Amino acid sequence: MEDTELYTMLLGIRPPWRVTKVRVDMTAERVDVWVEETPGMKVTCAVCENITPVYDHTEEQVWRHLDTCQCRTFLHARLPRTNCPADGVKQIVAPWGEPRSQFTRLFEGRVIDTLRECDVTGVTRLMETSWDETWGVMTRAVMRGLARKEKRVCARIGIDEKSLGKGHDYESIVCDLDRGTVEYVVDDRKQESLESYYQQFTREELAAIEAIAMDMWDPYIAATKAYVPDADNKIVFDRYHATTQVTKAVDKVRRREHKVLAKQGDLRLLGTKYLWLRNEENVPEWRREEFDGVKNAELKTSRAWAIKESLRVFWNYVYAKCAENYFKAWYFWATHSRLEPMIEAAKTLKRHIANIMTYFKHRITNATSEGINSKIQTIKLMACGYRNREHYKTAIYFHCGGLDLYPRAGAT
């Protein structure tokens, strides 16, 4: 078999295109393949797809292709240009590669596969691509995926904020709780941020949203009430976020009490911070005895802790009415504890109780998207490699968007 014939098959080149020359350089471990169109071939204008004769050719362009054994392989061609009455002179779209890509579709697909398995730096080493080229592939994959994605309203969504690095930069993330995908990422956590998600849809479309999990965060609440019909019955405050309010209050009580006790030389609360923040069953075995000691002592912190632990029962109720009664009793206890942080936390929950009670109807939390959270956490850990915020967002869509990322001939 002639090597031109071999490469016609390997590259999947079809008439009227043909391989005209192959050059193998074993010292450089490199194969170069030249492709030309058959003279007289008709081509289509890249804009309007009208069939026209070839007008002229571009300079020779080069595409990286999948390696041939140990040899890096490159495809060369001068692409025909059309001169369409409507669109003027345009170069045609090569059948083997996407416009503006220096890679063939097959190579680009391999880079995407590799990107799914490791970080960008890893890909540059494995594929011998540059940092910018690799990001280019990821960015194009996401753009392609977003363009192909059908516009849809999800029945149950979760809205979450993610901090970016150490600063106060946030991203708001909208997840499809049923599919476990990230639907939308937007800078900041303001009312406008979330509104930009809702603005993609009509009010009728938004009526199809059945439930929305979120933190007790006023800008998200305001945006949702402004756009989603019947929002009051759909917003569910995340139970873990609600619990965190109370856990933080326990910590405040402990810090204050420790200060007072330490002045009197009583160091019982020293180094106990994380014991109080854990759920009781998660206290490590080796600290169990120490914890039982302080827990049963006449301390403000132990009282606060008992209030926090007893709130956990609330979420286990099956019937909303029973849960409501339980909350009333709990609230009475917390607000009569004479522990100011606990009273404050209880009041915060009371103020939001209507949309905490919706949990018993919808049973959703933001932790439903746990898989997404851990993926985003990983993306963030690799974030030192993301030179900017746009890259971070791109990576979230790439790994969590559930998008159709791969280039295909004849598709956008």
Interface residues with Zn ion (CB under 5 A)?
45, 47-48, 50, 84, 86-87
Instruction: Decide whether 47 or 267 has the Cβ nearer to Zn ion.
Output: 47
Write down the least CB distance from residue 144 to Zn ion, Å.
Answer: 22
Angle (CA) 320 326 327, round 5° = 90
Provide, rounded to whole angstroms, the least separation between the CB of residue 54 and Zn ion.
14
The smaller minimum CB distance to Zn ion, of residues 90 and 239, is found at 90
Q: With respect to Zn ion, which residue has the nearer C-beta, 42 or 278?
A: 42
CA 394, 400, 401, 407: dihedral to nearest 10 degrees? 70
Q: Are strands 211-214 and 156-163 parallel, antiparallel or unpaired?
A: parallel
Rounded CA separation 55/60 (Å): 16
Nearer to Zn ion, 87 or 340 (CB): 87
335: left (phi over 0), alpha (psi -120 to 50) or beta: alpha
Of the pair 45, 174, the CB lying nearest Zn ion is at: 45
Q: Which CB atom, from 86 or from 318, has the smaller least distance to Zn ion?
A: 86
CB of 408 to Zn ion, least distance (A): 22
We find the least distance from the C-beta atom of residue 399 to Zn ion, in angstroms, to be 38
Q: Is 158 exposed, middle or buried (0-12, 13-18, 19+ CB in 10 A)?
A: buried
Select 55 or 240, whichever has its Cβ closest to Zn ion.
55
How many CB atoms are closer than 10 A to CB 165?
12
114 touches 72 (CB < 8 A): no
**Residue found by looking up tokens 């569910």 in the block:** 236
Q: Are 362 and 158 a contacting pair, CB within 8 Å?
A: no
Taking the least distance from each CB to Zn ion, the nearer of 87 and 128 is 87
Phi, psi (degrees; rounded to nearest 5) at 223: -60, -45
Whether residue 63 contacts residue 32, with contact meaning beta carbons closer than 8 Å, is answered with no
Least Å from the CB of residue 59 to Zn ion? 22
* Alpha-carbon distances of 207 from 173, 213, 218, rounded to whole Å: 20, 16, 21
What sign has the CA pseudo-torsion 42, 44, 50, 56? negative
- Do residues 334 and 347 touch, judged by C-beta distance below 8 A? no
Q: In angstroms, rounded to a whole number, what is the distance separating the alpha carbons of residues 70 and 282?
A: 53
Provide the minimum distance between the beta carbon of 80 and Zn ion in the complex, in angstroms, as a whole number.
14
Instruction: Give the nearest distance from C-beta 60 to Zn ion in angstroms.
Output: 24
Question: Nearer Cβ to Zn ion, position 33 or 79?
Answer: 79
User: Least separation, in Å, of the C-beta of 410 and Zn ion?
Assistant: 17
- The length of the chain is 412
Least separation in angstroms between residue 57's CB and Zn ion is 18
Which residues are within 8 A (CB) of 278 and not within 5 positions of it... i.e. 6 or more apart?
none
The H or E element containing residue 53 is strand 51-53
CA 81 to chain centroid? 40
